Structure formats: structure tokens, C-alpha cells
Amino acid sequence: MKIRTLEQLRALAEELRAARDHRPCVRVCGGTGCRARGSEEVLARFKTLLQEMGLTEAVDVKFTGCHGLCERGPLVSLAPQEVFYQGVEADDVRAIVTETLARGTVIDRLLAQDPRTGKRARREQEIPFYQRQHRLVLRFNGLLDPTDIRDYIALGGYQALGTALTRLTPEAVIELIERSGLRGRGGAGFPTGKKWRMARAAPGSRKYVICNGDEGDPGAFMDRSVLEGNPHSVIEGMIIGAYAVGATQGIIYVREEYPLAVQTLEIALAQARDSGFLGKEIFDSPFSFDIEIVRGAGAFVAGEETALIAAVEGRVSEPRQRPPYPVQRGVWGYPTVINNVETWANVPIILERGPEWFASLGTATSKGTKIFSLVGKVTNTGLVEIPMGMTLRELIEEIGGGAPPPRAIKAVQIGGPSGGCLPKTLFDLPIDYESLTEAGAMMGSGGLIVMDDRTCMVDVARYFMDFLRDESCGKCLPCREGTNRMYELLTAICEGRATELDLELLEELAQVVKQTSLCGLGQTAPNPVLTTLRYFRPEYEAHIRERRCPAGVCKALIRYVINAERCTGCLACLQPCPQQAIRGQLKQPHVIDQERCIKCGICHEVCQFGAVEIV
Amino acid sequence: MTRLSLNGIEVDLEEGTTLLEAAQHLGIEIPTLCFHQGLSAYGACRLCVVELGDGRLVSACTYPVQEGLRVRTHSPRVLRARRMLIELLLSICPSSKRIQDLAAAHQVERVRFSVRDERCILCGLCVRMCAEQMMAHAIGFVNRGYRRRITTPFDLPSDVCRRCGGCLYICPVCELRCQGPEATSIVCGACVTPAPTCPPVYGDLACYMGAAGECGTCVREPRTPDPHSSDLRGRRESL
Ligand SMILES: Cc1cc2nc3c(=O)[nH]c(=O)nc-3n(C[C@H](O)[C@H](O)[C@H](O)COP(=O)(O)O)c2cc1C
Ligand code: SF4
Ligand code: FES
């Protein structure tokens, strides 16, 4: 059914809500993480069981978007009981239906447990992981079925679009976005309203808007979760943006590695078209607009906007000189607005709640919320959305739950592969664009890797440099050869072959790569090196002067030895050693043959008594 | 017309002019490697970087003039960056005359990286020459990052290549350096090639004065050993 007026849309939302509210609802998480853990099977079991019991009509079963707590999946939440189950298996389904759904009894063992207090949380909001978050962009993830536009409409979806098209001029929309202080969530944090204004002012017979869903940061899945969990929020944001800048064509660029996101988007676009939100004369206004999906064979650099344009045009994704900026000359030479997935998803929220409300969240220069993918050595990993300005400490300690004991947190890597490593001493830093940049890191698109005291910072820099020298497009010399040489120098340091002069050279080279590279990749690639040098210089010096790796990571600089006093002679390490390098008899201290040892560290891990030491 | 300041000189230039053209217009020399007048600008070697008023370094060959821009073509920052870029180039292409000349002109006297003679700096001139002037599109880049190289599709002999030699003609680095007395050092540096002493027209011996090194231009005092130079690291053999 085509929706022509705002009133019609509101009435439909009312109607949908009224029709649903009285039914109990089972929400199974259908995010990629939970699917990998078997949530599809859980969903199927719910459906067959309810059918057997003749309850198909009485209970609403939904397959929703990602909840964020992926590592505890599959997740299932029940309404109106407000119970949040984690680690649900297909065999638990019967119990959930007969006990919780039918009788309201909570199954304790499926509730989330706080590893520190042992307390079990019944509702999602009671879990420490969620308590400190401010879920704005992710607010409907986990509530709605992303393949059913009626769910989004029932929650007030597309009303912001209706308001914009029927009550606001394009200039007024731009002004609202400007007043909200929204800045790009894809990396550099450029003011979105300003970008739109420039695109609106740029001369061009045609204009484009693009959603950047390349998300090439390893380990990051913010954008994927938004696209998979609430695609209509992105689509609605894009239509509003297109109206504001005067674009007639939209493109969602999604990486090929996100098949579920592509599939969900295809369904969502078709439904939006059927409902009249895309196509000709939307909301009976003169404005016409449509969106197509372009799939990119994910390269990290393809997320850079000029490389993305090249990819959309069917060329190799290599960056080019800016200016001209995409708002001046973008796809096929026409003015083009490129925004990140999360940026677009914020747009309807700003129109709905008002720019002042939005601007009240966050800090003086960074407004709203930001989604991070919190990974690494923290207790709770997953997707978190926090108000800007929260400190790193709150995010890591309170939401992330700190490091699992007995380890302690040492540093955090923020901003993706070319972000920076910040030490524990800076954990009171507020998370906003300026503070992070000043500290040598960046907001990036929201990757956040927590590292514990068993991490060697030189090794970390080397790891990222290995990634970057591979992901550099190779077009310009400083980035291509510079990252490669930085990797070489870091390897030499890790292997104890480097001198002080190499360290000097590394620093000098890092500066030049940063200054002279063509695109953002090369300009930020030295960040891992520069920040580790800035905050962890003694670690570099230990590698060079003492040929020692303080964290006990760099293989060339460590040895595994067995402490004869601690060794109980249990023989446990003998068999797992792939080199048969350990000799010993029952109840006699064992010895590692250093000639044979390849420093794989397996004995260190299997020893129950901490007798295998790294020296 | 766009007004900007180039090394303190105010100039009015037509829109669409690049900073490199602007500098050439004023007779200011900016070193380039991946640029050629007859081909599209590519901005890959970054040797032509110049400093803008806000301290950013941008490639002159691709950057369009903009109203009110302040540009410095030889600021200390620019020179420092160019030297490092040349050091990187030397480390991958020490056999090239053009690179050695650049090194000499910029007083780059050591290479602190391990040397591997790739004989190609991936400037892409040949690729553009083949595509834009010869209309053949016979060669292109493959791979990315440090694995990038130039070749024909699937590394097979090309059907569309007419053996025109345009790629050879345009290549800035395939002209071998002087084979004089220091032909095996990583940094030659002796021949700054100031005309007319050593013009780039060689006889068989690659030195037009006769036997290599005979004229003496390229022979210098023995260099004081540099503890950090590549020579001492025993990397001579890689040449
Ligand atoms: C190497 C590199 C990779 C990038 N990858 C992404 C990406 O995956 N997703 C994204 O939205 N922006 C990415 N960007 C930033 C884009 O170039 C662009 O600034 C952004 O999409 C603009 O949207 P925003 O203003 O909403 O942030 C990348 C930039 C660079 C330099
Ligand atoms: S900086 Fe790196 S990724 Fe960017 S254009 Fe240059 S080589 Fe390519
Ligand atoms: S000449 Fe400008 S980048 Fe190569």
C-alpha cells in the first residue's frame, strides 16, 4: 500500500501497534553473531513448537537485529515478561515456552550472570553491559524484525521523513542537522550539516547521496549491525538527506562480505518502494528519489570516499586528489554526499526529537552517541553505544567489565587499524573527536581493542603495520614503501636486530608518511607507531638496548624455562609440545631443550602450576 | 582568475591550473617523477609536495589553485620530506640515473633501509602512456600495497601491445646510472649532472667523456665512512 500523507502514516502506526500490543512476543536475535551460534535453529524450534501447540497466532515470533552482546548468543527476549535469555540452545526452547511464556517462571540458568558479583540479571537493562549505554541508533535493534517494514512503522518510522517532505524546506532540514551538531561517524568527523550545505550549493544537473557501508576495519561490525538490524533507519536518513541536498539517486555501498546485510537491505528497499517512501512523488510532494545497492569486494581502502566513488563507477578503488571533494565532483562528476551508515541512521532521530535534544547529548564539539565494537581482553565484548564524552575508563571498566582476572589492562587501541594506542594513564580521556585526535588516536569508525599486560606494544605496532602495508592501495610511494619499511624496522626491533639509529629512522619515516601520503590511509597509517613510541617508548628501548621484550611476547627475545621449584613433575607438558623439546620423569622437574624449542608457548599454557616461565 | 601566493609572490591564475603549473609559470622548479605534461596527473610519487599555509603537504601536480592559498615550494618541511622520499626511492631503485641525480641534488647521502633493486618505482607513467597516448591499455597495475606491480593481464604476452616502446620511452628510472668508479655503491652522488660536464648523452661506456670516470667529475674524495650507511651493512651485492 502506498502511503501518501503523514496522517495516513500515523494512523497506520496506531493501527499496527493496537493489533500487536496484546500478544506475547518472542524475539530471537538474528544478528550474524547469534546466527553463527545457532539462533536460526532456535527460531525454527520456536516456530514448530508453537505450531504444534496451536499457538502460532497467539504468540508473535520475531527474528531481530543484533543486540550487541554477541559473545553470549543466541539471545532471546520475551515480552511482556521482560525476560532476557542468553546462550539459548534449541533444546531450551520447550522450557522457555512451557515455563516462561505460559507461566511466567524465569529460568535462572539462562539469565546473564555478572562474572564479578555472580548476580543474575532478568532484564536486559539490568545487565551491567547495558546499564551505562545510551542506545539511540541501536534503540530498535533487537525490537523489530528488519525484514518487516510494518515493525519500523509501528515504532514511528518514516514519520520524520513525512514531516520533512510535507512541512520543511530542504534548507530547513539542513539547518536542523547543522544545529544538532551531528558529525560524520565514518572517521574524520566532518560536520554533516555543512557537508550537505556544500552539496546543495554545488552546481550540478544531478546529485547523489551515498551510504558508506564498506566497514573495512578488522573486527568492527557497528555498521553491519545497523544495516542488518534496522535498515529502514538508514534508508529514511538517506531519503531525508537526498531531499535536503536535492539528490535524485542514492547508493548504498556495502561490502560483499556482508551477505546478510545486502539481503536485508534488498528486502527493506523493496518494502520502502511498495510503501511509497522511494520512487516518484514521495508523500505526494514533487520529490522523487530511489536507492540502489552497490556491492564492493571489501578492501579497507575502498572505504575512503574517493576510492569508493571509483569503485561505484566500476574502476579499481584507488583514492584520488581532493579537492575536488565529492560534494563538488563525486560519482560520474556530479555533486555527491557520502556519509557513514551510522551518520545516516542518526538523521531521522534528530528530526524526530529535535536538534536541541540531540545536541544536549555529548560534549561541546561532539554531539550524540557513538557505537563502538569493544573487543580484546575485556570481560564483555560486543557492540556498545555510548554518549560522546564518556571516559575510556567508564567504557572499558564499567561496560566492558575490565580484564578478566588475573590480568590487568595496559592499553586500548582506538580508531581502527590506523588509530592509536592509548595507555592506561589516559583512561580518563573523554571520548570525543578532539580529545582522541589530540592524544594521537582518532575516533575512526569505532573499533576499540583492549590490550592487557601480556601485550607487547612493539609487536602491536608491527601487527597493524603488516595489515596496513597490505591494505595500502600502493598508489603513492610514502604509503606503499613507507608502511613496508616501517614494518621492516619494527620486525627488526621485535627480533632484537635493531639499533638506536633504526628507532630514529622509524620516527622520521613515520612523520614523512603521515605528511606526504595522498589519502587518509597513508596519512593515518603511522599512528600505531607514533602513539606507541609516544606512550611506550621504554618498551622499544628495552628491545633495542637490552634485547629484551618486557611483555614476553617477541619470540626472538624470550626463552621458556621451567622453574624447578614449581614444577611438580606432572608430565602434562611433555605430550603437547610439538617439538618433543621437554624431557623429564614423573615427579622430577622437567627441562626444556632450548635447541628444539620453537617458543610456541603451549607448555606455558598447559602448566597448572605456573612453572613454565618466560625469561 | 584565482589569486594565490607562491613563495611570497602574488599571482593570478586561471581556475583549473595546478600548483605545479603555477610554479612553472613563475620559473620555480619543483622535482617530479610521476608527472608528464602529455599525460593525466596521478599524484603518486609525492616528490612534488609543497607546503600550504596550514602546514599540510600536498602534491603540486594534482592540487588545483585556490583563492587565497599560500604555498611554499621549498620550505624546510618540504625539503625534509623530499629527502626521505628520495631515500625510499634509492632503496628500491639505486640503479637509476634519475634517482641518483635527485639524490645528489637533494644531498641525500645515505640509505638507511635495506636495498632491493626493483628497477621500478610504480609511478604509473608507462600505464598512462599506454592507455592515454597509445590507446592500447596493454599494461596495468596488479595487486595492492607492497605487492603491487605493473604487468600485462594475467602476466601473458599481450595481444594489444604493438611493441611501440612508449613505456620504455616514458620510464623515468630505466636509464641506468653512470657506470663510473662508484657504480656499485648505493648512493653515487658524485654526478650532479650539471650540464655540460656530464649531459645525459652517453657513448657505449655510458659516459660521454670516454672511459667511465675519465673526466673526473664523478670522482671524489673518498667518503668518510658513515656508520649507518648501507655500504657498511654489506649490501653492495644487491646491486
Ligand atoms: C582508509 C580509509 C578507510 C575508510 N573506511 C571507511 C569505512 O569503512 N566506512 C566509512 O563510513 N568511512 C570510511 N572512511 C571515511 C570516508 O572516507 C568518509 O570520510 C566517510 O564515509 C564520510 O562519512 P561521514 O562524514 O558520515 O563520516 C575511510 C577513510 C579512509 C581514509
Ligand atoms: S595513501 Fe596509501 S592508500 Fe592512499 S592513495 Fe596513497 S598508497 Fe593508496
Ligand atoms: S610528480 Fe606530483 S606526485 Fe609525482
Output the average pLDDT for chain A: 94
Delineate the domains of chain B, giving CATH numbers in brackets: 1-74 (3.10.20.740), 125-170 (3.30.70.20), 194-223 (no CATH)
Q: Cβ distance A521 to A473 under 8 Å?
A: yes
A383 CB within 6 A, ligand 1: no
A121 forms bridges with which residues in the sheet?
A112
User: Among A301, A324, A481, whose Cβ lies nearest the Cβ of B88?
Assistant: A481
Instruction: Write out residues 204-223 of B within 8 Å (CB-CB) of A.
Output: none
Question: Which domains can be identified in chain A, with CATH numbers?
Answer: 15-126 (3.40.30.10), 157-359 (3.40.50.11540), 369-452 (3.10.20.600), 457-545 (1.20.1440.230), 559-615 (3.30.70.20)
pLDDT in tens, A383-412: 999 999 999 999 999 999 999 888 999 999
| Residue B208 confidence (pLDDT) | 46
| pLDDT tens-digit profile, chain B (239 residues) | 999 999 999 999 999 999 999 999 999 999 999 999 999 999 999 999 999 999 999 999 999 999 999 999 999 999 999 999 999 999 999 999 899 889 888 888 889 999 999 999 999 999 999 999 999 999 999 999 999 999 999 999 999 999 999 999 999 998 888 776 666 778 875 554 443 344 443 334 344 445 555 555 554 444 444 444 444 333 333 33
- Among B residues 114-153, those touching chain A with beta carbons less than 8 Å apart: 114, 121-122, 124, 141, 143-148
Q: What is residue B199's predicted lDDT score, i.e. its pLDDT?
A: 40
Does the beta carbon of A319 lie under 8 angstroms from any beta carbon of chain B? no
Cα angle, residue A167 at apex, residues A234 and A161 outer, rounded to 5°: 15
Interface membership of A469 toward B (CB under 8 Å): yes
* CA pair distance B97, B102, nearest whole angstrom: 9
Q: Are A507 and A544 in contact (CB under 8 A)?
A: no
Pocket test for ligand 2, best of A517, A523, A527 (most atoms within 8 A of CB): A517
**Residue A188's pLDDT band (boundaries 50, 70, 90)?**
confident
Mutating to test ligand 3, I would choose from B42, B86, B128 the residue with most ligand atoms within 8 A of its C-beta, which is: B42
Nearest Cα to A286, choosing from A198, A394, A169?
A169
- The mean pLDDT of A202-222, rounded to a whole number, is 93
Minimum distance, in Å, between the CA of residue B77 and any CA atom of chain A: 9
| A483 contact B CB<8A | yes
**Residue of the CA atom closest to atom 1 of ligand 3:** B32
Q: Measured between CA atoms, how close is A58 to chain B, in angstroms?
A: 56
Alpha-carbon distance of A233 to A138, in angstroms, equals 10
**Cα A555 to Cα A338, A499, A549, distances in angstroms:** 44, 18, 9
**φ/ψ (deg, to 5) at B33:** -130, -45
Whole-angstrom distance, CA of residue A521 vs CA of residue A514: 9
CA distance A8 to A297: 41
B57 touches chain A (CB under 8 A): yes
Q: DSSP for B2-59, please give it.
A: EEEEETTEEEEE-TT-BHHHHHHHTT-----SS--TTS-----S-TTEEEETTS-EEE
What spacing in Å lies between the alpha carbon of B43 and ligand 3's midpoint?
Answer: 4
Say what the pLDDT of residue B216 is: 53
The closest of A523, A394, A519 to A448, measured between CA atoms, is A394
* pLDDT mean over A293-321: 93
Model confidence over A349-361: pLDDT tens digits? 999 999 999 999 9
A483 neighbourhood in chain B, CB within 8 Å: 145-146
CA B161 and chain centroid, separation: 26
| pLDDT for the residue numbered B189 | 55
Minimum CA–CA partner of B112 in chain A: A505
Strand A112-113 relative to strand A83-85, pairing: unpaired
Q: Is A454 helix (H, G, I), strand (E, B) or coil?
A: coil
Q: Residue B215's pLDDT is what?
A: 55
Residues found in chain A? 615
* Distance (Å, whole) CA A158 – CA A273: 12
Residue A263 predicted with pLDDT over 60:
yes
Please, which residues bridge with residue A183 across strands? A191
- pTM attached to this predicted model: 0.91
Q: What are phi and psi of B123, to 5 degrees?
A: -75, -20
* SS3 category, A466: helix
pLDDT, tens digit, for every residue of A490-511?
999 999 999 999 999 999 999 9
Which helix (H) or strand (E) segment holds residue A291: the answer is strand A290-296
Residue closest via CA to ligand 1's atom 20 equals A186
Cis previous bond, A80, omega within 30: yes
Distance from CA of A515 to the nearest CA of B (A): 6
* Residues in contact with A205: Cβ distance below 8 Å, sequence separation at least 6, in sequence order: A334
pLDDT band with cut points at 50, 70 and 90 for residue A160: very high
Residues A451 and A157: their CA atoms lie apart, in Å, by 40
**How does pLDDT run across A595-615, given as a tens digit for each residue?**
999 999 999 999 999 999 998
Q: What are the tens digits of pLDDT across the range A146-155?
A: 999 999 999 9
Chain B residues touching A516 at Cβ < 8 A: 46, 49, 57, 81, 85
Output the ligand 3 site: residues, CB below 6 A. B 32-35, 43-48, 59, 61
Q: Which residues of A touch B232 (CB under 8 A)?
A: none
pLDDT at B182: 63
- Tell whether B84 lies on the interface with A, counting CB pairs under 8 A: yes
Helix, strand, coil share of chain B (percent; to 5): 25, 15, 60
Tell me: pLDDT of A323 over 80: yes
What mean pLDDT is predicted for residues A126-133?
A: 90
User: Angle, nearest 10°, between helix axes A527-535 and A457-471?
Assistant: 170
Q: What would the pLDDT profile of A537-554 be if each residue is shown by its tens digit?
A: 999 999 999 999 999 999
Residue B112 near chain A (CB below 8 Å) = yes
- Assess contact for B151 and B60: CB atoms under 8 A: no
Contacts of A316 in chain B (CB under 8 A): 141
Strands of the sheet with B9-13, listed across from one edge? B9-13, B2-6, B70-72, B49-52, B57-59
Of all residues in chain A, the percent with pLDDT exceeding 70 is 100
Residue written as cell 609543497?
A: B50
Contact criterion met (CB < 8 Å) for A476 and B44: yes
CB-CB under 8 Å, A480 with B148: yes
Q: How far is CA A601 from CA A153, A555, A571, in A?
A: 55, 10, 16
Q: What are phi and psi of B52, to 5 degrees?
A: -90, 170
> Mean pLDDT lowest for which of A176-185, A301-310, A436-445?
A436-445
Count the neighbouring beta carbons within 10 Å of the beta carbon of residue A452. Answer: 18
Q: Sign of torsion, CA A217 A220 A225 A226?
A: negative
Ligand located closest to B124 CA: 3
**One-letter-per-residue 3-state SS of A50-103:** HHHCCCCCCCEEEEECCCCCHHHCCCEEEECCCEEECCCCHHHHHHHHHHHHHH
Q: Compute, in angstroms, the gap from residue B57 CA to the centroid of ligand 2.
A: 15
pLDDT of A218: 83
Instruction: Please tell me the number of the ligand nearest to residue A515's CA.
Output: 2
Distance of alpha carbon A208 from alpha carbon A330, whole angstroms: 8
Residue type, A457: M
Digit-coded pLDDT (tens) for A552-590: 999 999 999 999 999 999 999 999 999 999 999 999 999
Q: How far is the CA of A418 from the centre of ligand 2 (A)?
A: 13
CA of B31 to the centre of ligand 3 (A): 8
Choosing from A185, A197, A212, A370 the residue with most ligand 1 atoms within 8 A of its CB, the one to mutate for a pocket test is: A212
Contact between residue B134 and residue B162 where contact means Cβ atoms under 8 Å apart: yes
* Chain A residues touching B80 at Cβ < 8 A: 512
Distance CA A509, CA A325 (A): 28
Measured between CA atoms, the residue of chain B closest to residue A509 is B84
| A70 within 8 A of A383, measured Cβ to Cβ | yes
